[in-house]
Amino acid sequence: MTAHAEEPAPAVPPMPERTPKALRQAIARHAPQLLPDFDEHWKRAIADTYDIAPLPAFMARWWGEYAIARDPELDAHVADLEHRAAYECSDIDEARALLEEASRIRYRARETRPGR
């Protein structure tokens, strides 16, 4: 009888340097499903306007999106919370609690520091 070793869970990649270029490279490598929306938002909010004023808000949004998407378990958990709130709850208080939990996770994800 041979014992099968459990497959190690894939490591969550560290957060990149906090620049648009580094974030885009990390998204392309570890969460490519986000790339079309990231690029479209960049084009619409920054590139086409030649205005960097929206850059902090842009980075906050995509920093948090990537921080969650780079961790498949966390990404699935947040998606499950939002799905349950939208499609499975008949009680408004329960749906609100699920969405508040998802919101707390998203907020904390935006605070993740580079290298973490």
Q: What is the pLDDT of residues 74-92, one digit of tens each?
A: 999 999 999 999 999 999 9
Q: What residues in the chain have per-residue pLDDT under 50? A: 1-2
Res 94: pLDDT: 97
Amino acid, single-letter form, for residue 16: P
DSSP label at 32? G
User: HEC string of 37-88?
Assistant: HHHHHHHHHHHCCCCCCCHHHHHHHHHHHHHHHCCHHHHHHHHHHHHHHHHH
Q: Which percentage of the chain shows pLDDT scores above 90?
A: 91
Chain segment 62-73, per-residue pLDDT in tens: 999 999 999 999
